[in-house]
Amino acid sequence: MATKPIKVTLNGTEHSLEVEPRLLLVHLIRENLSMTGTHIGCDTSNCGACTILLNGKSVKSCTVLAVQANGKEVTTIEGMATAEGLHPLQEGFREMHGLQCGFCTPGMIMRATELLKQNTNPTEDEIRWGISGNLCRCTGYNNIVKAIQYAASKLNGTEMPAELKEEVSAEE
């Protein structure tokens, strides 16, 4: 099969590649570019484990062809932390115990990134609706919601909800 040349900026680094037209973006990310934090869960777009940001919008990378990412910016979980430390969402998932097995966590964080850009102070219901396309099979979502609330307060520079403050101080 003939290949197509593409250029993709992944986590701030531009890559020029030749890919088969049918190659899925999730496979380009994991196999060609060795960013394995993006997980393959269902290959049917149901679970959201493969969620990444494509030009700042959360998408399930198992539903996007690599050629569709040509000229675009792709951000994966590996691109979230900075030299200063973890992104507030990553910190929130750690501090609020928003993960158990961790398989869904990268996709949840990527989806929550766009959610918090659209709504900087979401309610619990808005968070639950916002992440409803990403499945977690082990946490029950309560601590995931708390992790996103934690990150929202950190990003906004606002006070954490009292119940979150109590949990964080109990850990210290």
For domain 4-79, give the CATH number.
3.10.20.30
**CATH of 88-171 given 3.40.50.20, 1.10.150.120, 3.40.50.300, 3.40.50.620:** 1.10.150.120
Strand partners, 17: 6
Check pLDDT > 90 for residue 116.
Answer: yes
Nearest to 131 by CA among 114, 117, 154, 153: 114
Cα gap 98→49, rounded to integer Å: 15
Every domain of the chain and the residues it spans = 4-79, 88-171
Question: What pLDDT sits at residue 107?
Answer: 98
Mean pLDDT value of segment 25-33? 98
Average pLDDT, the chain: 94
Nearest to 98 by CA among 135, 131, 141: 141
**pLDDT per position as a tens digit, 47-88:** 999 999 999 999 999 999 999 999 999 999 999 999 999 999
Cα gap 129→46, rounded to integer Å: 15
Adjacency order of strands within the sheet including 4-10 = 13-19, 4-10, 73-75, 51-54, 57-60
